[in-house]
Amino acid sequence: MHPAKEIILELLAEAKYCTLLDLKHTPEEHANSSIGGKCRTPNAIIAEIGWFNSFAAKYVFDPSLKMPDEDEIQAFFQTVTNKLEARKILRQGFKDLEEAINQMEDNDFTAQIKAPWGQPYSKGGFLLHAISHTFYHDGQICYAQSFRGDDIIHWTE
């Protein structure tokens, strides 16, 4: 196995483990409620993670794909109203990303693409961006948990 593939899969496994645990420990009544009325709900955040991971998995094979506009994306996230739906989208995103990584040839990891927002990346770097995006949003879930009184780090289970 190519070292890049091994490292990316290892980081993806950790992101999956941590994020699923944090979702598990988010009570249903908190998962679809906004802190202060301005923050996105944990379900919407989880849906974004899953959606973007699925998009990234396709994008590394077809960088001509267009991202939907922001209004379409946000409208989709708002349709995710329970943890079961959010978890399904999240798991699918992790599955799609893992399959894409495993399908890539060794030289694919260094092939250059431009992200939909114009940033140049290697394909491997774009996959790492998707995983970093997962951790970023999982941090938001953790913050929402702590704001609501849950100060336990669930990753240690």
Structural domain range at position 148: 3-156
| 39: CB partners within 8 A, 6+ apart | 144
pLDDT in tens, 89-142: 999 999 999 999 999 999 999 999 999 999 999 999 999 999 999 999 999 999
Per-residue pLDDT reduced to its tens digit, 21-69: 999 999 999 999 888 888 889 999 999 999 999 999 999 999 999 999 9
| Structural domain count of the chain | 1
Task: Report the C-alpha gap between 76 and 64 in whole angstroms.
Answer: 22
CA separation for the pair 145, 133 (Å, rounded): 19
pLDDT at position 77: 86
Token readout for 105 is: 């040839």
Closest C-alpha to 43, from 149, 156, 140, 153: 140
| Centroid of chain to Cα 70 | 17
Least confident of 4-13, 26-35, 92-101, 147-156: 147-156
Which has the closest alpha carbon to 1: 93, 103, 97? 103
What pLDDT score was predicted for residue 38? 82
CATH code, domain carrying 109: 1.20.120.450
Asked whether 65 and 59 are in contact (CB, 8 A), the reply is yes
Contact 52, 133 (CB under 8 A): yes
Q: Please state, in angstroms and rounded to a whole number, the distance separating the CA atoms of residues 140 and 108.
A: 32
Q: Between residues 13 and 76, which one has the greater pLDDT?
A: 13
Strand partners, 113: 121
